[in-house]
A and B are shown apart, each in its own frame.
Chain A
Amino acid sequence: MMAMAGKRRSRRWHRVLGLLSAIPLVWVVITGAVLNHSVDLGLDGVAVRHPLVLRAYGMVPAGEPLVVEVSGRRVVAWDGQVFFRGAVHEIRGVMLGAVADGSDGGIAVASDVGVWRIDGDGSLLEVLDEISLPGFPLTGVAGDGGRAWLENPDGWHRVGEGWLDHEPVAGGAMERQKPVVLSDDALRDELSVAWARGGVPMARVLLDLHAVKFAGAWGRYFYDVVALCTLWLCGTGVVLFFRKPGRAR
């Protein structure tokens, strides 16, 4: 009677451990099979944009998005990137504001350490640094009839045609632009995805899931567990294969 109870217990354990052992194998097999056909399935062209995934890859902008309006169009700067007419450009420093630039609807975005000139179709014209601008740090920017003004600790400077030169204006007092925090939640979400360059390719996410990169340092032991589980399933399978059922004995 005692031996019968022991056998039942060991069979139950065998079932439970067999099921648990199969879980990591199923994980590896399914993700591996899909990865094997990732080109056929077009997974490189599919982007994952879920906030949890973006956060896992560190692809979430820090701080608050700042917005200014230039000729009725919004210019947003957020964690080192500026968004204008669907285009994204990298900038350095803190955005002070933006002014209309040129006749094609372009803009010039000013930060404390540079100016980024963007043309009407959103392409980057040029980046201006300390050689082409008044001394740093810049503290303000203003527009006046198509001309840009820049402020630094020495005062206001009027920028020449094509931003090729600039001159200090004694006693000049312009109203500097004041970027405000973007409050449009829908646009924030959209820009957050744009900041992450459209998201993470599905193939990359699957590869990392397959390699268990999300588990951090523990991920390296995952395949040790998979190997042990495989040996366990093989071993118990061989034993079961050669063991005759009680009825057949």
Chain B
Amino acid sequence: MESMDKSRVICCKRVIGLLVGILFAVAGVSSRAAGAEKVYEKPSVFLSRHFGGVPKTRVLELSGADQKALHGILGHRYKQKRVRYWQGGGKRAWILDEIGKTEPITAGFIVKGGRISELRVLIYRESHGWEVSRPFFTKQFAGAKLKGRGLSVRVDGIVGATLSVNALKKLGAAALYLDGQAGG
């Protein structure tokens, strides 16, 4: 009788141990998924693809008026006082960050003649809304000009990725504004 009780206790302990193990494993997997950082293209590779290498780095110092304009475009203060860009062959590359929901999205823009010629999502850190990195979405930005505080073209949204879509639209307008300040 006593040995049966002991075996039951051992069995219960094993089951509880297994359940706790599964719980921790699931928690570990989900926490990794939530904090996943997906690099679609390294910024240096993005520049090399367009310029055949990383061109000399240039810096745009932001004046008070620039900060005010960027505030209008982004809807919040731009944190940095200067922005780096790269140019060659009549086009400029801007690599900018903007928070989608909670994490920054790093996007590369190629601007030629005051129009966006390519948008590429370089690093995506949010757990949802990665669809904005797909070409069916990013190609909508091609040919866009700055119109007021936004883009001249209509960009269709993606269900479930509204914040990421908005972040990229703002970044596109910011890249075009900065390009204008760097000498059009």
Contacts and interface: CB of A to CB of B under 8 A. Distances in A.
Nearest to A125: B81
Contact of B79 (A119, A124, A164): A124
Contact of A132 (B79, B81, B84): B84
B176 interface: no
A165 B43 CA distance: 16
B57 A131 contact: yes
B110 interface: no
A72 B99 CA distance: 35
B132 to A, nearest CB: 20
A127 interface: yes
B57 A132 contact: yes
| Chain B interface category by residue count | 10 to 19
A131 B123 CA distance: 14
A129 interface: yes
Residue picked from B54, B57, B59, B82, most chain A C-beta under 10 Å: B57
B144 interface: no
| Chain A interface category by residue count | 10 to 19
B80 A125 contact: yes
Contacts of B3: none
Contact of A124 (B42, B56, B80, B95): B80
Given A162-B59, A164-B57, A165-B57, A127 B80 contact: yes
B158 to A, nearest CB: 26
B116 to A, nearest CB: 20
A124 B83 CA distance: 11
A236 interface: no
Contact of A130 (B42, B56, B57): B42
A126 interface: yes
Contacts, number: 36
A220 B57 CA distance: 56
A130 B84 CA distance: 13
Contacts of B57: 131-132, 164-165
B155 to A, nearest CB: 26
A196 B80 CA distance: 21
A164 B59 contact: yes
A119 B81 CA distance: 10
B44 interface: yes
Interface string B11-55: 000000000000000000000000000000011100100000010
Contacts of A162: 59
A239 B101 CA distance: 55
Contacts of B97: 127
Given A125-B81, A132-B57, 8 more contacts: A119-B81, A126-B59, A126-B82, A127-B97, A131-B54, A132-B84, A164-B56, A165-B57
25 contacts: A119-B81, A123-B81, A124-B80, A125-B80, A125-B81, A125-B82, A126-B81, A126-B82, A126-B83, A126-B84, A129-B43, A130-B42, A130-B44, A131-B43, A131-B44, A131-B47, A131-B54, A131-B57, A131-B84, A131-B95, A132-B57, A132-B84, A164-B56, A164-B59, A165-B57
Nearest 5 A-B pairs (CB), nearest first?
A131-B43, A164-B57, A126-B80, A126-B82, A125-B81
Interface of A: 89, 119, 123-127, 129-132, 162, 164-165
